[in-house]
A and B are shown apart, each in its own frame.
Chain A
Amino acid sequence: MKHTLSILVENKPGVLTRVAGLFARRGFNIESLAVGVSEDPRLSRVTIVIDGDEHPVDQVTKQLHKLINVVKIKDLASAVSVSAELLLVRVAGEGDKRAEALQIAEIFHAKIVDVDRRSVTLRVVGAADKLEALLELLQPLGVLEVVRTGTIAMGRGRGG
Chain B
Amino acid sequence: MTPDKKLKGSRALVAALQHEGCEVLFGYPGGVAIPFYDALYDSDLRHVLVRHEQGAAHAADGYARATGKVGVCTATSGPGAANLVTGIATAYLDSTPLVAITWQVRSDLIGTDAFQEADITGMTLPIVKHSYLVKDTADLPRIVHEAFHIASTGRPGPVVIDIPVDVALGEAVYHEATTIDLPGYKPTVTGHIKQVRAAAKVINEAERPVLYLGGGVIAANAAPEILRLAELRRLPVATTLMALGAFPETHALSMGMLGMHGTVAANYAVHECDLLINIGARFDDRVTGKLKAFAPHAKVVHVDVDPAEIGKNVPPMVPIVGDAKRIAAALVKELEGMEWSPEHTEPWLARIAGRKDEFPLHYDEPEDGSLAPQFVIQEIDRVTGHDAVICTDVGQHQMWATQYYTYTFPRQFVSSGGLGTMGFGLPAAIGAKIGRPDATVIDICGDGGFQMTMQELATAMSDDVPVIVCLLNNGYLGMVRQWQDLFWNKRYSFTCIDASDCAGCPKADECVRRGRRSQPDFVKLAEAFGAVGVRVTAKDQVEPALREAIAGDRLTVIDFKVAQEENVFPMVPAGSEITEMIGGTSRKRRKP
Interface residues of chain A, those whose CB is within 8 Å of chain B, are: 9-10, 13-14, 17-18, 21-22, 25, 58-59, 62-63, 65-72
**Of all chain B residues, which has the CB nearest A24?**
B126
Instruction: Assess the A68–B185 pair: CB atoms within 8 A.
Output: yes
Report the bound CA distance from A6 to B306 in whole Å: 22
In the assembled complex, which residues on chain B have CB atoms less than 8 Å from the CB atom of A9?
184
Q: For this complex, into which size category does the number of interface residues on chain B fall?
A: 10 to 19
Cβ distance A10 to chain B, nearest Cβ, rounded Å = 6
Q: Is B505 an interface residue (CB 8 A)?
A: no
Let me know if A62 and B184 touch, CB within 8 A: no
- Which residue of A25, A62, A70, A71 is within 8 Å of B308 (Cβ)? A62
Which residues of A have CB within 8 Å of B150? Answer: 68
Task: Looking at the assembled complex, report how far the CB atom of A33 sits from the nearest CB atom of chain B, in whole angstroms.
Answer: 17
Known: A68-B150, A69-B184, A71-B183. A14 touches B311 (CB 8 A): no
Closest to A64 in B: B308
- Any chain A CB within 8 A of the CB of B125? yes
Please, how many angstroms separate the alpha-carbon atoms of A13 and B122 in the complex? 12
B308 contacts across to A, CB distance below 8 A: 59, 62-63, 65-66
Q: Is the CB of B184 within 8 A of A67?
A: yes
Contacts of A25 in B (CB 8 A): 126
Chain B residues, CB < 8 A from A10: 183-184
Q: Taking the nearest CB of chain B, how far is it from the CB of A125, in angstroms? A: 31
Q: How far apart sit A69 and B150, CA to CA, in the bound complex (Å)?
A: 12
Report Cα–Cα, A21/B131, bound state, in Å. 14
How many A-B pairs have beta carbons closer than 8 Å: the answer is 37
16 further interface pairs, Cβ-Cβ under 8 Å (given A9-B184, A62-B307, A68-B184) = A10-B183, A14-B133, A21-B126, A22-B126, A58-B311, A59-B311, A62-B308, A66-B129, A66-B306, A67-B184, A68-B182, A69-B184, A70-B184, A71-B183, A71-B184, A72-B184
Q: Is B51 on the interface with A (CB-CB < 8 A)?
A: no
Q: How far is the CB of A38 from chain B (nearest CB, A)?
A: 13
The 9 closest A-B pairs by CB, nearest first: A62-B308, A71-B184, A68-B130, A25-B126, A68-B185, A71-B183, A70-B184, A21-B125, A62-B307
Residues of A within 8 A of B312 (CB): 59
Per-residue A-contact encoding for B105-146, CB less than 8 Å = 1, 0 else: 000000000000000011001100110010000000000000
| Beta-carbon contact of A14 and B121 below 8 Å | yes
State the Cβ distance, A73 to closest chain B Cβ, in Å: 10
B125, B130, B182, B306: the one contacting A17 at CB < 8 Å is: B125
In the complex, what distance in Å separates the CA atom of A25 from the CA atom of B122?
13
Q: Could you give, for residues 374-400 of chain B, a 1 whenever the CB lies within 8 Å of some chain A CB and a 0 otherwise?
A: 000000000000000000000000000
* Chain A residues within 8 Å of B126, by CB: 21-22, 25
A143 to B311 Cα, complex, angstroms: 45
CB distance from B516 to the nearest CB of A (A): 39
> Complex formed: what's the CA distance from A141 to B165 in Å?
58
Selected from B133, B182, B307, the residue in CB contact (under 8 A) with A65 is: B307
A60–chain B nearest beta-carbon distance, Å: 10
Partner of B125, one of A18, A68, A69: A18
By beta carbon, the residue of chain B nearest A22 is B126
A143 to B359, CA, bound (A): 72
Residues of A within 8 A of B182 (CB): 68
A72 to B186 alpha-carbon distance, docked (Å): 11
- Residues on B with beta carbons closer than 8 Å to the beta carbon of A13: 133
